Structure formats: C-alpha cells, structure tokens
C-alpha cells in the first residue's frame, strides 16, 4: 500500500493561478498533510503573501542547497505554473507533480494555448508526474477544453486554468493520499520552447498568408496586458504592436 504524503511543497510563479489553488487547498479537509508555499527567485514574494497569512519561501532549483532542503523536508513537490526546470537530482529523489495548462503530450512546453490556436491542435489541462523531460511524465488526469473561433490567447488560457482548477478540486485528495495511477503518454508529442514563441512575434508585412491563418496568428498572440505581435514601421523603424478583437454575432 502506498503511503500518503505528509509534507507538501507548492512552488508557483503565477499569482492568478496560485490564489485559486490556495483557496482550493484551504477549503479541503486534509488534516494529516502540511502544505508549504514557495516561489522562484525571480518572482515577487510580496505578491504571493496572501493577506500575510502564509509564509512564502524562495526556492532556486539550480541551487544544490535548496534541492537538499526539499529532499530533507518534503515528500511531495507540486508545481503550480512554476517557471523553473526540475533537475534530475530532484525528480529522482522526491515525488514531483505538475499542473500543466496543456493537453499532454500534444501541448508540452511553453504557452500551450498559443500553439494550439496556430497549429489547430486540441488543448486542455493535465496533472502529471514530473520526470527528467519537460511535461513528459506519467499522466494522472487530463481533460480537453473547447476552443472556439472567437478565442484569443487570453480567453483560451482562462478556460484552461478553469479546467486545471476543476481537476485539482477533484483529484488533490487522491494525490495527497497517494491513491492514483498514471497513464504513459501515447507518444512523445511536440515540445514548444520560449524561442518558438518569440519567433512568432514579428509580423512580415510582405508575407503571403491566408486571411484565416493570419487571424489565427493574431488570436494566438493577443493577450491583454502584453505586447506580443508586432511589425516594424518602415518609416520610423519602431515596433507597431498589433492585437485583435473578436466578437460573435447573436444571429443564428
């Protein structure tokens, strides 16, 4: 019989997702499990200290001392939109589980909703064990979300996070009690990097492309609050940022 996890470290770099995750855990009855919370060195600790009610640690997964600290103090590490790579020395010694905003193995890596729109791929949410490869380990649970023609990167991302939190709500107790099984991904899938994303940002004004593909690219790169897609003004040499607004009619 598998032993339940007693000391859990949560590491996150996304305040929006972190707050929603924290509320779920706070409302769960998990008396025999202690949760600690942490961020990466490049995140702002003050943002994550919700009303001063929890201590936020700073964990650097490139630091051997921090790795040793985790291995000594915790038996489960939960990645909740953590932006650090989990090194082999950690994942081979402590159970590590990732909440991923993509449908593995289709959407491995960065910004799954972006590449889902551009490459016309399904998208969803996955909770999986972490191994030595990015978004690659055994799948605990995954579900698709509906991608609509009017979705931008931001609206689709919100749907994905909603699905992630649904899965956390339904599965966190099974995970903590170590009462789950995993499914091996059907294939390696496609891994998307930050560099793959950056290559999409600059628009070539002379590129020959269908209207549909161009709209999809703008949809994929439109995320309110971020300047993503741009072209270079031929007169000034400055970047001109581009977004798209989509609205479905109410007519049948």
Name the token pair of 60.
């650097």
Name the token pair of 165.
């939190």
Catalytic residue flag (residue 128): no
Catalytic residue among 81, 100, 128, 136: 100
β-bridge mates for residue 230, sequence order: 202, 241
Q: How far apart are CA 86 and CA 171, in angstroms?
A: 22
Q: How far apart are CA 59 and CA 79, in angstroms?
A: 12
User: Looking at the annotation, which residues are catalytic?
Assistant: 100
């Amino acid at each position: 019989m598998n032993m339940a996890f007693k000391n859990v470290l949560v590491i996150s770099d996304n305040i929006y997702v972190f707050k929603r995750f924290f509320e779920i855990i706070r409302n769960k009855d998990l008396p025999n499990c202690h949760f600690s919370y942490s961020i990466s060195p490049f995140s702002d600790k003050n943002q994550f200290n919700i009303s001063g009610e929890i201590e936020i640690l700073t964990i650097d997964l490139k630091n051997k001392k921090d790795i040793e600290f985790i291995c000594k103090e915790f038996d489960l590490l939960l990645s909740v939109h953590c932006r650090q790579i989990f090194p082999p020395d950690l994942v081979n010694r402590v159970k590590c589980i990732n909440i991923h905003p993509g449908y593995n193995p289709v959407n491995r890596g960065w910004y799954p909703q972006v590449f889902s729109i551009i490459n016309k791929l399904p998208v969803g949410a996955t909770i999986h064990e972490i191994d030595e490869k990015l978004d690659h380990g055994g799948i605990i649970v995954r579900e698709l979300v509906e991608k609509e023609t009017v979705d931008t990167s931001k609206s689709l991302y919100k749907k994905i996070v909603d699905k992630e939190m649904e899965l956390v709500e339904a599965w966190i107790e099974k995970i903590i009690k170590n009462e789950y099984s995993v499914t091996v991904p059907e294939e390696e899938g496609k891994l998307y990097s930050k560099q793959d994303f950056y290559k999409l940002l600059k628009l070539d004004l002379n590129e020959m492309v269908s209207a549909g593909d161009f709209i999809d690219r703008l949809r994929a790169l439109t995320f309110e609050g971020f300047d993503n897609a741009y072209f270079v003004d031929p007169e000034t040499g400055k970047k001109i940022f581009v977004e798209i607004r989509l609205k479905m009619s109410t007519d049948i």
